[in-house]
Chain A
Amino acid sequence: MPVTFHIPGPLRQFTGGHSKVEIERSPTTLADALSALWSLHPGLRDRIANELGQVREHINIFIGDTDVRYTGGMTSPIQAGSEISIVPAISGG
């Protein structure tokens, strides 16, 4: 089963307007999955990650319902059929 990314509205300009992106190959970690996502839609990379490859401070990534901060960050394991959500954090001013 493919891994599915859920793309937030502000970033759909880089996915041809699609709210979901499926990764056909089988990533084993979040880093693998993001790598595949960047390859499909290059404009997403610099919006989600900084130059050091770290997810930006005010962006959260969930695998299913779990924030990857609690599952190993970039090394979080990905299962076939996983659903990955990219969500801007609650912050403002």
Chain B
Amino acid sequence: MRKERFVIGQVLGHCRVLAKIGEGGMGVVYRAHDEVLHRDVALKVVKKDARLDSSAGQNLLLEARASSSLAHPNICTIHEVGETDGELYIVMEFIEGKSLHDMIGDTGLPPESVLRYGVQIASALSRAHDRGIVHRDLKAANIVITSDGLVKVLDFGLARRVRGPVLDGATRSFETAQDSSTLSGTVSYMPPEVLRGEAVDYRSDLWALGVVLYEAASGRLPFEGRTGFEIGSAIMHQQPKPLGPPVPPGLWATIQRCLAKEPSQRYQRASEVQAALETVQSAAIVSADSGPDRNIGPRTTVLHGVRHVRVKRGDFLLLVGTTKGAFFLRSNAQCSRWEVGGPYFHGHAVYAMAYDGRGGQHRIWASTHSYWGTLLRSSDDFGKSWTNPREAPIRFPADSGVCLKNIWQITPGPPDEPSVLYCGVEPAALFETRDSGETWSLVRGLFDHPHRPRWMPGNGGLALHTILLDPSEKQRIYVAISAGGVYRTEDGGCTWTAQNRGIRVVFMPGKFPEFGQCVHKIAMHPSRPGRLFLQNHWGLYRSDNRAEDWTDIANEVPSDFGFALVMHPKNPECAYIIPVESDEFRCACEGRLRVYRTRNAGASWEPLTRGLPQKGAYETVLRDAMTADSLDPVGIYFGTRSGQLFGSRDEGKSWQKLLEGLPAIVCVKTAFVEDASAGSAVTLPRASVAATVRSKSGATTKSRRTRIKKR
């Protein structure tokens, strides 16, 4: 056994050593009594063999002295630093309590406690950072909670000059340097920039704070592995598993931002983290599950008095969102008619709907907007019951300073990631879920974009209304914002660039700004994802180079003002628009309801009018109120603000009114209900609406055997 440098009863300075209370990689800690000031203190003596480099001893002394200036209720006070017989010693506040590490347990702490401790830790970091001191070894073992709930952060500034990854706790972290668990435990708090060997700054402490909060909230570390290498790999490449209830979304959002891989994407100050946690804390309750009557209130709502459609495999659905509720139209070839279900969400505006058949599910998503806020809901039984979340699943984090007004777009993620979805919302922002909608997080890379403060609301508000995922490159996503323009990410949402070169604006002095365009809709062809079409607030454009440049293609159209735009799902040369007369008179040109189609990528456009009213039809078709199906031949559908729903099953040659008398239509989507678990179209009933055939291009498509009949 190594001989102790100090023995019980010995006096060092004016402190009498009372007992050894611990030993770490850097030194031995004693309980001592200050015989001048009559108080107990912790006395840390740094080991001579503590792997300090040649100059580190002096630096450590200087830093310990700097740290001693950190008078803060949540920082363990350093009373005195000195040197005796070539050994450094530090006299610090003696704290009685338990380490946060010991308190957390297997399931974590209640959210109220996490917030209460988190605010204090952030406050301590804020003070230190303001003094230019970075902790560098913040971890649950370095945080002590006193019996009255006061947080004390230990070891400020003491870790900096110790070589290698094994850093020591001063008074409560007593593992030995040789203990591999210590190594793993410390690596778990290291940010990616440390693992990359890059410069460290105060934002590294904010990463560690995120790890501590995650650990405290869940009882587990966000990045785990059996070895330090595995942990490091997880830190570099993986996202932490989302934290759902009882962890409040605001707390989870705060943690996520602390754990951004790039320091620039994190909070930039500890005071920001503190403010975010305080805002979550100040919410009247921290969790929907924390009330005593937490079982009161439905998780799902069964809608009574609503006519439901009876959906079978092979059926085709139109999902119609209106300003006063949603409707389903089911096509049944056997009956040769449309069956109508609804209204769902009576009186609520439904601006976004989507069908998600990935992973064997048959889920319909809808956003609802009313007096009572905006909610995202889903149904797995074609509308018979809907989720009715107690807590709004999409909500801006507490520190954002904004609140959700509406959800404009719901976009399922890649086919092989059925738990991933995106939502575009107002005010303009993108939300993402990776657990099938249980928890949603704000895509901070876009929200924190320096352009965002200069985006301007259009007539419909400042909305992110379109999300396009590139099927050839999973990390590439396009969004369209009115009025902000087109933005693209190449790294899955971490960073975004404005992609508006060539798109004109008419409401700003400069006609071709970098951003700020009022883009009404963009569309991409899945077989040629580098090609996009764009309907602007005045202007019709195409890009063939992933939105690097846009070319005006408003050739032979009565107006280049409009909202709706869809692409032919099989022909990348073909797109459909419905022009409106002008910004001031947003109605079909000359009172003639005409769909325009190009079959040569915009070189020319042809009107499609057969079956559409051509006199006194002052109709408006909004940006999400037109859609195409994937059948063969392709069907095109659109709804008007006057509540009429039109459809064409022959690619636009002829049209039929499917339904009228609806509230103003704001959203039309399609769904082909096949057995997704089989991975292809199912064997259909004899007279079914669709059958699987091989198209000329070789793609598997569903052919249409029957024609639509007016209901």
By a beta-carbon cutoff of 8 Å, the part of chain A in contact with chain B is 10-11, 13-16, 31, 34-35, 38-43, 45-54, 56, 58-59, 88-89, 91, 93
Q: Which of A43, A50, A54, A93 contacts B390 (CB 8 A)?
A: A43
- State the CA gap A38–B395 with chains docked (Å): 17
Segment of B292-300, B444-452, B503-511, B574-582 in the binding face: B292-300
Q: B309-337, CB under 8 A of A: which get 1 and which 0?
A: 00000000000000100000000000000
| A45 in contact with B284 (CB, 8 Å) | yes
| A39 in contact with B290 (CB, 8 Å) | yes
Q: Which of A11, A51, A59, A93 contacts B396 (CB 8 A)?
A: A51
Using known A-B contacts A10-B372, A38-B285, A45-B391, determine if residue A51 contacts B398 with beta carbons closer than 8 Å.
Answer: yes
| B294 in contact with A56 (CB, 8 Å) | no
Q: B32-53, CB under 8 A of A: which get 1 and which 0?
A: 0000000000000000000000
| A41 in contact with B297 (CB, 8 Å) | yes
Q: Is B699 an interface residue (CB 8 A)?
A: no
| A38 in contact with B291 (CB, 8 Å) | yes
| B292 in contact with A40 (CB, 8 Å) | yes
Contacts of A49 in B (CB 8 A): 284
| A15 in contact with B296 (CB, 8 Å) | yes
CB distance from A32 to the nearest CB of B (A): 9
Q: Is B472 an interface residue (CB 8 A)?
A: no
- State the CA gap A40–B398 with chains docked (Å): 22
By a beta-carbon cutoff of 8 Å, the part of chain B in contact with chain A is 250, 282-285, 287-294, 296-298, 301, 323, 371-373, 388, 390-392, 395-398, 400-404
| A34 in contact with B296 (CB, 8 Å) | no
Q: Which of A34, A47, A58, A88 contacts B284 (CB 8 A)?
A: A34
CB distance from A74 to the nearest CB of B (A): 10
Q: Which of B285, B398, B402 contacts A39 (CB 8 A)?
A: B285
Q: Which residue of A lies closest to B283 (CB)?
A: A53
- A and B contact pairs by CB, cutoff 8 A, 24 listed: A14-B296, A14-B298, A14-B390, A15-B296, A15-B297, A16-B297, A35-B284, A38-B284, A39-B285, A41-B293, A42-B287, A42-B290, A42-B391, A45-B285, A45-B391, A46-B392, A47-B372, A50-B403, A51-B398, A51-B404, A52-B401, A52-B402, A56-B371, A58-B371
Q: Which of B373, B395, B396, B402 contacts A56 (CB 8 A)?
A: B373
Contacts of B284 in A (CB 8 A): 31, 34-35, 38-39, 45, 49, 53
Q: Which residue of A lies closest to B404 (CB)?
A: A51
| B403 in contact with A35 (CB, 8 Å) | no
CB distance from B402 to the nearest CB of A (A): 8
CB distance from B517 to the nearest CB of A (A): 28
| B291 in contact with A51 (CB, 8 Å) | no
Using known A-B contacts A45-B285, A53-B284, determine if residue A40 contacts B293 with beta carbons closer than 8 Å.
Answer: yes
| B372 in contact with A11 (CB, 8 Å) | yes
- State the CA gap A43–B298 with chains docked (Å): 9
